[in-house]
Structure 1
Amino acid sequence: MYKKTLQAALGLSIALLGTAAYAETLTGTYVNYTFDESALGMFGTAALSASGDGLVFSPVDFMATTSGTVFAQDTIYVTVTANPGYQLTAFGLSETGRYSRSGDGPLGVTGQFGLTDVEGTTVNHILATIEASPGSFTEESGSWAAQAAITLPATGWGGADGSVGSVSLEISNLLDTSGFSGSASIYKDFIGLSAFTTTVSPVPEANTYAMMLAGLGLVGFMARRRINASA
């Protein structure tokens, strides 16, 4: 049930990509993040990480509880663009939170993390599952952690030069206490996104090749003159 709900929400977010009014851009050392600040919802506020290239969210009232909202779900999307001279290679997502429980039944922390190619001529999309680590929610109260990671394919994505300079990223999160018998609450306290890059090897332009060939020709001509002069 979780996956069907999240896939529907993620599909809606992808459909909205073309109409979203991005209002904020945060520029790091190697990448920049563009998003609609007014649409962050329960993800709260966003800021660059201390390293300067991650994006950190501070959730606001992102919680599910048997005494109130038993099912909390939200989705955001962000455009990630590599700065000049760099290309995107991979992404990592880390989330943490806390919980309390008194009774019996399952507690759910899950979601989907997706990337869409915005440069290629074909529609490329990758999904990864976000899920709390095994062993969570076994005590009456405690903390939980969830991770997801995506490595971009070596080929088939990006622009004509084969490098990936920009992607659309979607994060869909779900907290669920609906199946719990008793009293329970789940809170999401932190969401951190990491972007990984490598440098792009510059491809010489046609006039650069011409200058290189002319230079090699001049070197060859001077070498022949020296040989003839010494003969």
Structure 2
Amino acid sequence: MSQVAILIDGGYFIKRLPALRPGIDMSDPVAVCTTIKRMITAHLDRINKIERRSHARSLLYRSFYYDARPYLDRGHLPISRKAIDYAKSDVARFQLALHDMLRKTANMAVRLGEVRRDPASLWELKPSVLTALVKGEREFPSLEDADFRPTFRQKAVDMRIGLDIASLTLKRQVGTIVLIAGDSDFVPAAKLARREGVKFHLDPLWRSVEPGLFEHIDGLYSGLPRPRKREPEA
């Protein structure tokens, strides 16, 4: 029986989840972990239905969750210069707890990259604030700490996704790969998988994709229900 691997871009998933489940508590790792499990089951059920199989759970080879370790160093806020300990932040605590829960989930592998900050540019203005400044609706002396966001950059996450797609394909470990992601960085790996006979499905979590991507995938659908309200395109 051909098995299925489900690869989840964690950063993208967390960003999209509030739009797909407006009532979810994004500070609750249990709720988020439960949603991930349900999404995986929905994908397996769909593949099961398409291929007329039974016992969807037996199809799963492994799920992979890709994310970056939370930033745990100390720093200072941009305006007040107040000290901040990122290790004690709500974001860090949530990520650490979620990663730990996922590690304890059956048939789940957690692949973590790193988060780094450029010492030359630790903070950047939020887009809405920058727009207000350009339009003259705000003045620079009015800026506050809340108008900025830290310049965290994920490292090696996309690389891990590409390497696992190649490994799963070349080792003939699966017959189907489902990738939950929102960009086109996966295209070279998807081409390799399809050339080797692996079916490649994409779940963009109800975001539109570039028309050119359809020639590189075998299916496009989501494991979570469609949002009730139509969202503006990014």
* TM-score, normalising length: structure 1: 0.27
Query: Whose strand proportion is higher, 1 or 2?
Result: 1
Q: Which has the larger radius of gyration?
A: 1
Q: Hey, which of these two has a bigger chunk of helix by percent?
A: 2
With normalisation by structure 2, the TM-score equals 0.26
Q: Which has the higher contact order (CA 8 A, sep 6+)?
A: 1
